[in-house]
Structure formats: C-alpha cells, structure tokens
Amino acid sequence: MKAVIQRVANASVTVDGSVVGSCEKGYLILLGVADGDTEIDAELLCKKIAGLRIFRDENEKMNLSIRDVDGEALVISQFTLLANYRHGNRPDFLGSAKPDEANRLYEYFKSLLAKEIRRVECGIFGADMKVTLTNDGPVTICMDSEVLKKKS
C-alpha cells in the first residue's frame, strides 16, 4: 500500500461539478492499494500517518502531528501510485489490487484514520475526480507499507 501525504491548508475533491469531500488544515492523502495488500498494510500506514510530526510547533520546527494540531484529512483512492513504468512510456497498473479488494482496504484505512483524527472526508472510489489543494510548506511525504513492514 502506498500513500502520498501532503500537508495542506485546505483541499477538496469534486465529482461531476459537486464537492464531495474537503478538509481544512491537515492532510491530503492519496492512497494506492497494491495486489496482495492486507489490513496490516492499512494499519501500519494509518498508525505512521497519524503520528507523523510534520506540523510546525511554536519554534517553527516540524514537531507536531495531525492530532496535535486538531487537523483534518481528505483521502483519495489513487491506483496510479502503483504504476509500473520500467518498460516503454505507457505505464501499466497490473500491480494494483482488483477494484473490489482495493475499495475494501481503502474503506478500512479511512475507518482507522477516523478513529485517530477528528474529521476524515474522501472522494468517490473509481470516479473521475478533480482535486484542489493549497499546499502548506509544501511538505509531501511518500510512504510504502512494505518499508514499514521491514522496520517491524
């Protein structure tokens, strides 16, 4: 499971001209579910993201977590994070989970995150979404649950 975490002042996602999810100060999280991912992958990423200290403290040091700043999150499913670009110029996405399993683990990740922070909104799985954000910093962190498993 891969995640791109962007610290944002605000973010929103629109489907068919209507805003379906938004957040203020917090994270925009792009989440890609790989073939073979399990609940453990979602749990590892959620725990790390909730505790990630990338918000500024009173000394302007990145030392506070999203919980510390009472932040919000907007989670967007994005299978393209699993792109295989090694051969040719057209990536394949064969490493991404099948849609039913990807959606199940996406929903599971969101439910875990909602237990950690006060507000979690999302896009619509599989929809053509337009995402708007105002980066804060900018600060962008890329995570892979496989890296977290090696640490355990």
User: Please, is 122 exposed, middle or buried when counting C-beta atoms within 10 Å of its C-beta (0-12, 13-18, 19+)?
Assistant: buried
Q: Which residues are catalytic?
A: 78-80
d(CA 50, CA 37): 20
For residue 130, the cross-strand partners are 14
